[in-house]
Amino acid sequence: MSNLIAVLNGVIWGKLLVGLLLGAGLYFTFRSRFVQIRRFGFAIKTMMGSRAKDEHHHISSFQAFCTSLAARVGTGNLAGVAVAIFMGGPGAVFWMWMIALLGMSTSFVENTLAQLYKSNNHDGTYRGGPAYYIEKALGQRWLGIIFSGALIVAFGFAFNSVQSNSIAAAMAVYEIPPLAVGIVLAIVAALIVFGGIRAIARFAEMVVPFMALAYLALALFVMLLNITEMPAVLSLIFKSAFGIESAAGGGVAYLMKTAMEQGIKRGLFSNEAGMGSGPNAAATATPTPHHPATQGIMGMLGVFVDTIVICSATAAIILVSGQLHSGNELTGIALTQAALSNEIGGIGNHFIALAILLFAFTSLIANYYYGESNLRFIKDNKAVLMVYRVLVLGMVVWGAVGELPVVWSFADLAMGVMALINLTVILLLAGQVFKVLKDFDDQLDAGLTPTFDRKKFPFLDKTMDPDVWNDAPETARKMDTDTVSEQSLSAAQNA
């Protein structure tokens, strides 16, 4: 069985996904007229201004962004980057950047679709994701169920056991028994997940910014300590990315291929662009400005923060430390710990342990919700949901004490299936997204606050749920009336 999984992973990750990810990312980038660059400033401004609460207790764009980032920022940012560099060389970092830059446009498309085809929970919250837009836009519920099943296996069960295993390993430095770690994690997680999406969003909003900023501050400190070496590190990354360090032609091709495969695989695993996981969080938001493209733009910012910012911080710590050298067999989290300890002393081990605890635990909570949203797509039943919650918490305990190589391989396979399905679907539906983006751009360029009128888009109006995105025209008219009134009053005063 394990051999079959390895063969399938080799086909999916080594051949199919590399071309599909790069091709889709390039296509979305050009069709959107480089939305990841054009609207980057708008994304920053929206993120900073979307924390205000509303009287209906909706999930804000910032809360959905943090929930998505909670799932993205995990052990992949610490251990995954180290594995990519160890196996693919420093050049893997360059290809992580490239897949992230292209992935930002992919993330925009999938997150905008999640907003368009979200379902109303009728309690001020929403849910959605690829399974929902597969069924509603394409009418293929069976494919949505396959996607949901793969996501539940990968995120709800496998990745959560991996996260708890990583936390238990990090706590071993304090001689805390793994079983005790697993039980405590399950209890604390239960207190949050039983509170529903609002509790999960509030938790992410509080913890994610703190943990990300703390880690970046430390990485910046390490880079400043080694500021004279940073130009050489950047040069090494670019040379290694194209195999320039190898004199033999065959060596060049092999090094470049290895760096690309590792960078793309670990980059996708970290930022999840195109995989179809992030849209499950994006669908929960009530964005401001009230337009689906707003959350699409916020989604691409999550890819940037995860890979180009946080993963780069880990890469910098490893490469300036000198720990990546011939004869050193350290990889994964052990390499990151050794690199940080080399720079700041023994406290580095404690900091990494804390970082893993926060990164992995926030991922665990967000992963749980992704699974819940997709379970409710298959069967929206309270009893079934309760069984799922118990199973997830059980996997958290088991993961802390179990051996996980087969689980990792199976999770990679499930994640690959998710990505293949989602990328194919969003390529089919991208035309509608670009029409929505043009509507958003036209309003913004005209100096207006973008609002969404579903009646302008006949296909969307026919396939979207009738109880979502049906309040924007009224809002737009109210804004116009207020603006006219203010202008009239101003004109009267001037007269």
Please state the length of the chain: 495
Predicted pLDDT at 400: 83
Q: How many CA atoms lie within 13 A of 226 on its CB side?
A: 23
Tens of pLDDT, residue by residue over 289-348, are 889 999 999 888 888 888 888 888 888 888 887 766 655 666 666 777 777 777 777 777
List the one residue out of 187, 210, 181, 203 whose CA is nearest residue 362: 203
pLDDT band at 50 (very low <50, low <70, confident <90, very high): low
pLDDT band at 488 (very low <50, low <70, confident <90, very high): very low
The average confidence (pLDDT) of the chain is 80
Q: Which two tokens stand for residue 213?
A: 């900023």
**H-helix segments, 290-346:** 292-303, 312-321, 332-344
Q: Are 189 and 396 in contact (CB under 8 A)?
A: yes
Q: Beta strand pairing status for 119-120 and 126-127? A: antiparallel
Most confident of 47-56, 158-167, 242-251, 267-276: 158-167
pLDDT top residue among 193 and 279: 279
Predicted pLDDT at 251: 58
Mean pLDDT on 78-101 = 80
Amino acid identity at 123? D
Predicted pLDDT at 96: 83
Most confident of 84-93, 110-119, 203-212, 221-230: 110-119
| Cis preceding linkage at 405, omega within 30 | no
Please identify which residue in the block is written with the tokens 């940073």.
230
DSSP 60: P
Predicted pLDDT at 26: 93
Please identify which residue in the block is written with the tokens 């920053």.
44
Predicted pLDDT at 412: 77
- Exposure letters 182-214 (e unless 16+ CB within 10 A, then b): bebbbeebbebbeeebbebbbbbbebbeebbee
Predicted pLDDT at 247: 46
Name the strand (E) or helix (H) holding 120: strand 119-120
Amino acid identity at 321? S
Predicted pLDDT at 459: 94
Predicted pLDDT at 67: 78
Task: List, in order of start, the domains of the chain with CATH numbers.
Answer: 2-477 (1.20.1740)
Tens of pLDDT, residue by residue over 368-383, are 888 988 999 998 888 9
Q: Are 234 and 90 in contact (CB under 8 A)?
A: no
pLDDT band at 111 (very low <50, low <70, confident <90, very high): very high
pLDDT top residue among 107 and 76: 107
SS3 (DSSP) at 397: helix
Q: Are 151 and 139 in contact (CB under 8 A)?
A: no
Estimate the crossing angle of helix 91-116 against helix 17-31, to 10 degrees.
60
Q: Does 181 have pLDDT greater than 70?
A: yes
SS3 (DSSP) at 466: coil
Rounded Cα distance between 340 and 338, Å, is 6
Q: Are 265 and 38 in contact (CB under 8 A)?
A: no
pLDDT-above-90 percentage for the chain: 25
Mean pLDDT on 255-270 = 70
pLDDT top residue among 188 and 491: 188
